[in-house]
């Protein structure tokens, strides 16, 4: 590209969106730094390549380019998902403009569509959690049936043990019986949350919070300050009050446990905060109104190595933890068509329960 031409384009370098200039054959003649960044390549590496050759599904770009060359439009806006071999696909808003310029008659402006990206991630997580639940349920059933048999057989075996070896051998059968029993309890707990909610009436979320508060106060009477920041205009909604109490309690209980050091110091804080949100998408469905209940603590935060997996069963950051508290809580909230989200950094962990409101 000749020097004067490049200079006249230098203003493009300051743009945050990716700008790509094509010549009459669709070859890249100029890209700004944002485009180099987005396409993960330098101007040198991109020049002389046809724009659409960079993507697995570039045909649409070629079609649009041909339409631009035929002057079928002067400006066109598109939403595109550009697939790249071996790399994350690009979710972009694309603006195609026909320029009055012989050397570079067509301009593509690409802007990464973060909103779309976020939505996709949430949808993916939701699908994943549905698939996980299915897997766990099936697995739990498969384990449950033979467990009963193992335990029963060990009990029969114990009765048949010869008198003279009873003492030593009984230790072994006891291990089998005890461990089978422990697994049985675990499996029962994995299967339990899948009962349907008992929706018997309207729930007032602040009654739920107050119940949980009194339970936490009873267990942690000293060193823990509980704050309440309620929006009392929040309407009641149909729900299973017992399930909601259990869900909120599991989250608040984790918070109180994470606050052990601060409780000893006397500066532990747990906050229940309620708000209303408008136009919310929960589990892929859009609602006009939703309840946001935040349960916030000033503890050390979620250990980074498990932060992506805390809602999975059996994931625990504590010795002796079952790793089922958040799984249960998430299941109960999903049965109310809601979700639990979490944001955590040292000193501030915020679990947000979101439930659609009428």
Sites of contact with Mg ion (CB under 5 A): 254, 325
Binding site residues, ligand ADP, CB under 6 A: 250, 254-255, 258, 297, 299, 301-303, 310, 315-318, 321-326, 349
Q: How far is the CB of 155 from Mg ion (least distance, A)?
A: 33
User: Residue 316: which of ligand ADP, Mg ion, none does it interact with, CB under 5 to 8 A by kind?
Assistant: ligand ADP
DSSP line for 168-222: HHHHHHHHHHHHHHHHHHHHHHHHGGGSPP---EEE-HHHHHHHHHHHHHHH--S
Q: Cα separations (Å) of 67 from 76, 78, 165?
A: 10, 13, 90
Please, what is the minimum distance in Å from the beta carbon of residue 146 to ligand ADP? Answer: 26
Residues 6 or more apart in contact with residue 41 via CB below 8 angstroms: none
* Residue 299 near which of ligand ADP, Mg ion, none (CB within 5-8 Å, type-dependent): ligand ADP
Kindly tell me which of 5 and 253 has the beta carbon lying closer to ligand ADP: 253
Burial 38-71 (b: 16+ CB within 10 A, else e): bbebebeebeeebbbebbeebeebeebbeebeee
C-beta of 331: minimal distance to ligand ADP in Å?
A: 11
Q: Which does 193 bind (CB under 5 to 8 A by kind): ligand ADP, Mg ion, none?
A: none
> Of 250 and 334, which CB lies nearer to ligand ADP in the complex structure?
250
Closest by CA to 355, choosing from 288, 292, 296, 311, is 292
The one of ligand ADP, Mg ion, none whose footprint includes residue 322, by CB under 5 to 8 A per kind, is ligand ADP
The option from Mg ion, ligand ADP, none interacting with 39 (CB < 5 to 8 A, set by class) reads none
Cβ-contact 155, 136 below 8 angstroms? no
Q: Would you mind telling me the total number of residues written for the chain in this entry? A: 358
- Nearer residue to ligand ADP within complex by CB, 299 or 356: 299
């Amino acid at each position: 590209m000749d020097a004067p031409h490049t200079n006249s384009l230098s203003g493009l370098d300051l743009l945050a969106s990716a700008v790509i200039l094509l010549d009459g054959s669709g070859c890249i003649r100029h890209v700004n730094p944002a485009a180099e960044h987005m396409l993960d390549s330098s101007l040198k590496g991109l020049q002389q390549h046809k724009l659409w050759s960079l993507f697995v599904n570039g045909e649409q770009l070629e079609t649009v380019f041909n339409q631009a060359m035929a002057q079928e439009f002067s400006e066109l806006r598109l939403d595109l998902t550009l697939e790249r071999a071996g790399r994350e696909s690009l979710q972009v808003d694309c603006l195609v403009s026909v320029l009055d310029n012989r050397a570079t008659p067509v301009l593509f402006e690409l802007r990464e569509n973060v909103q779309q990206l976020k939505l996709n991630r949430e949808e993916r997580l939701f699908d994943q959690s549905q698939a996980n639940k299915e897997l766990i349920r099936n697995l739990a059933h498969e384990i449950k049936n033979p467990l009963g048999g193992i335990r029963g057989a060990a009990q029969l075996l114990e009765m048949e043990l010869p008198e003279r070896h009873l003492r030593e051998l009984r230790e072994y059968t006891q291990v089998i019986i005890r461990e089978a029993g422990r697994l049985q309890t675990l499996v029962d707990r994995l299967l339990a949350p899948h009962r349907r909610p008992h929706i018997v009436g309207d729930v007032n979320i602040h009654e739920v919070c107050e119940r949980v508060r009194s339970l936490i106060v009873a267990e942690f009477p000293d060193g823990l300050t509980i704050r309440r920041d309620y929006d009392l205009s929040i309407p009641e909604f149909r729900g299973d009050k017992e399930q909601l109490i259990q869900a909120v309690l599991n989250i608040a209980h984790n918070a109180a446990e994470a606050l052990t050091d601060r409780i000893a110091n006397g500066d532990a804080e747990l906050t229940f905060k309620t708000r209303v949100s408008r136009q919310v998408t929960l589990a892929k469905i859009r609602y006009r109104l939703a309840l946001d209940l935040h349960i916030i603590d000033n503890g050390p935060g979620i250990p980074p190595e498990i932060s992506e997996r805390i809602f999975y069963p059996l994931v625990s950051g504590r010795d002796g933890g079952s790793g089922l508290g958040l799984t249960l809580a998430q299941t109960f909230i999903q049965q109310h068509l809601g979700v639990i989200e979490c944001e955590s950094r040292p000193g501030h962990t915020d679990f947000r329960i979101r439930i659609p409101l009428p």
